[in-house]
Amino acid sequence: MTDRHAAPLASTALYEQVADRLRQRILGRELEPGSWIDELKLCGELGISRTPLREALKVLAAEGLVTMKLRRGAYVTEMSERDVREAYQLLSLLESDAAAEVASRATNAELAELGQLHRELEDALPDQDRFFAANERFHLRVLEIDGNRWRLQIVGDLRRLMKLNRHHSLFREGRLAESLDEHRAIVAALLARDAQACRSLVSAHFRNGLSATQAAA
């Protein structure tokens, strides 16, 4: 039975809206990695009480974007060298396996879609921001086609965290062109339905990305 006296549910809870706003600020570098989050200042800026802000911070802490420190408050997470290395290792394992699965099971239409996404990556150079966006679309579409929702969730969280890395692999001079060459080989292997080559090429792509990040540090 419908409760006619119940208040209508908001489409999005206030704390989720606050979390979205803070997430955008963090990923947009308005709040830098390692910086302290001034709760009183944010409450004033957003016109909210401490309760929804603290609920939002819990959400971002669960995502890894915020680190809560006892008696010191919340800080934007800062990626250490070990954090970056371990994230690359996990991404390599998860995404190379996904690429192998896609090469084996994707429809011709899905492979054609990946080919189109790769052409968008080709067209993005030399615009670094466009390249970043096109690169992410390609990688995430491979995961969506693979269809493993747990893998997609984990990789999504890891990729979000990697945006906090001060020494992103694509920042190194010449890395954009190298990455594009690696993508060309990956797409060729996908279209050839060569699962083993896909696994090997994607693993190498992440190893090279890690090397570039370490060189840029």
* Joined tokens for residue 92: 């390599």
Checking if the pLDDT of 25 tops 80, the result is yes
Contact in structure between 87 and 210 (CB atoms under 8 Å): no
Looking at residue 215, what is its pLDDT?
79
pLDDT given for residue 183 in this prediction:
97
> Quick one: pLDDT at residue 36?
96
In the prediction, which pLDDT does 214 show? 83
Q: Within a 10 A sphere around the Cβ of 205, how many other Cβ atoms?
A: 24
Cβ(31)–Cβ(22) below 8 Å? yes
Whether residue 161 has pLDDT greater than 80: yes
CA 77/CA 26 separation, integer angstroms: 9
Residues facing 69 on adjacent strands: 73
Three-class DSSP labels, the chain: CCCCCCCCCCCCCHHHHHHHHHHHHHHCCCCCCCCECCHHHHHHHHCCCHHHHHHHHHHHHHHCCEEEECCCEEEECCCCHHHHHHHHHHHHHHHHHHHHHHHHHCCHHHHHHHHHHHHHHHHHCCCHHHHHHHHHHHHHHHHHHHCCHHHHHHHHHHHHHHCCCCCCHHHCCCHHHHHHHHHHHHHHHHHCCCHHHHHHHHHHHHHHHHHHHHHHC
Confidence of residue 6 (pLDDT cuts 50, 70, 90): very low
Decide if pLDDT at 169 tops 80. no
Confidence at residue 12, expressed as pLDDT on a 0 to 100 scale: 67
Mean of pLDDT values over 197-206: 98
Q: What is the pLDDT of residue 106?
A: 98
Residue 20 pLDDT greater than 90, yes or no: yes
Question: What does the pLDDT look like over 119-141, one tens digit per residue?
Answer: 999 999 888 889 999 999 999 99
Average pLDDT, the chain: 91
- pLDDT of 9 reads 40
Handedness of CA 17, 19, 20, 21 (dihedral sign): positive
Whether the predicted pLDDT of 2 surpasses 80: no
Q: Could you give all domains of the chain from N- to C-terminal order, each with its CATH number?
A: 14-76 (1.10.10.10), 81-216 (1.20.120.530)
pLDDT of residue 7: 46
157 burial via Cβ count (<10 Å: 0-12, 13-18, 19+):
middle
Structure pTM? 0.82
